[in-house]
Amino acid sequence: MTATLSYTLTDSATMLRRNLKHQLRYPSLTLMLAGFPILFLLLFVYVFGGQLGAGLGPGGAHPDRHAYLTYVVPGILIMTVASAALGTAISIAMDMTEGIIDRFRTMAIARGAVLTGHVIGTLLQTLAVLVLVVGVSLAMGFRSAAGLLAWLATAGILGLFAFALIWLSTALGLAAKSVETASNTPMFLTLLPFLSSAFVPTSTMPAGLRQFAEYQPFTPVIQTTRGLLTGGPIGAHAIAAVAWSVGIALACYLWSIRLYDRRRAADPK
């Protein structure tokens, strides 16, 4: 039936509007999501940046805050994506405790539309927060030689990775038994950027940690973004970044749909 596909689109759009209305009416969550990476940006550049920048670029051993700013901005953008995704688990878990979800389940709504509305809504929110963080970076003196195409590619790779992490967070939010659990479980997402090339090159890490940092999904995404914005080799990183993103998104989408259906089947009252 072609009607099914068209209803899937209409219902998802309806749920997206609902999600955007929530965001606009309660902007505090969006501001918190933006505030967290901006705080880290300020902290890492102005507090640690002078010293951390010493080991980077042509400045040699001299403190080089600007070199560190250039290095860390791609990492901060990834951190933005991770922390924005984290919010999805909380808002999904909160939504699932609301009576309206039971109402949705008794209506002939396209399968997955409720979740799709959340995911696309958070994705748009993430992109908006990314623009804000880039704006703050530019104000702090970050400069990129990237042309329009490279910026678009950056938006694409970050958007794709955000899409993957948001589906992951959605599944974690659905799997959580309470809103508290939902806000704690995905915390590892904010930890992973530290164990990657976001803040310092992986070459400075001890052996075991270095291997983990090099092979975990954040690093190829960061390296691709870094390559696009500030030059440097991208190589196989781009392929790894896309593969990780698509893989995580697909697996977590299927997991989420299953969890959503199963909540319907159980849930004693």
Partner 1 sequence: MTRSGVAITARGMRKSFGEHTVLDGVDLEVGEGTIFALLGPNGAGKTTIVRILSTLIRAEAGTIRVAGHDLAADPDGVRAAIGVTGQFSAVDNLLTGEENLQLMADLRHLGRAAGRRRVAELLDRFELTDAARKPLSTYSGGMRRRLDLAMTLVGAPRLIFLDEPTTGLDPRSRRTMWQIIRELAADGVTIFLTTQNLEEADQLADRVAVLDHGHIVTEGTPDELKRRIPGGHVQLQFAGPHELSAAAALLPAATPDPDQLSLQVYGDGSVTELRYLLNQLAEAGIGAERLSIHTPDLDDVFFTVTGHPAGTDREKAPQP
CB of 143 to partner 1, least distance (A): 41
Q: Return the residue of 5, 31, 102, 131 that touches partner 1, per CB under 8 A.
A: 102
Using CB under 8 A as the binding rule, whether residue 267 contacts partner 1 is answered as: yes
Please identify which residue in 1, 107, 139, 145 interacts with partner 1, judged by CB under 8 A: 107
Task: Assess 106 for contact with partner 1 (CB under 8 A).
Answer: yes
The amino acid at 50: G
Nearest approach, Cβ of 31 to partner 1 (angstroms)?
16
Identify the CA nearest to 67 among candidates 139, 137, 142. Answer: 142
Instruction: Select from 1, 61, 108, 149 the one that contacts partner 1 (CB under 8 A).
Output: 108
From residue 5 to residue 44, what is the string marking binding to partner 1 with x (rule CB under 8 A)?
--x--xx--x--xx--xx--xx------------------
**CA angle 160–85–48, rounded 5-degree value:** 100
Buried b (16+ CB within 10 A) or exposed e, 157-184: bbbbbbbbbbbbbbbbbbbbeebeebbe
Counting contacts by CB under 8 A, is residue 2 touching partner 1?
no
Contacts 24+ apart (CB under 8 A), 23-29: 23/121, 23/125, 29/87, 29/91
Whole-angstrom CA distances from 110 to 1, 14, 174 are 13, 11, 18
Q: In the complex, which residues of this chain contact partner 1 (CB under 8 A)?
A: 7, 10-11, 14, 17-18, 21-22, 25-26, 98-100, 102-109, 264-269
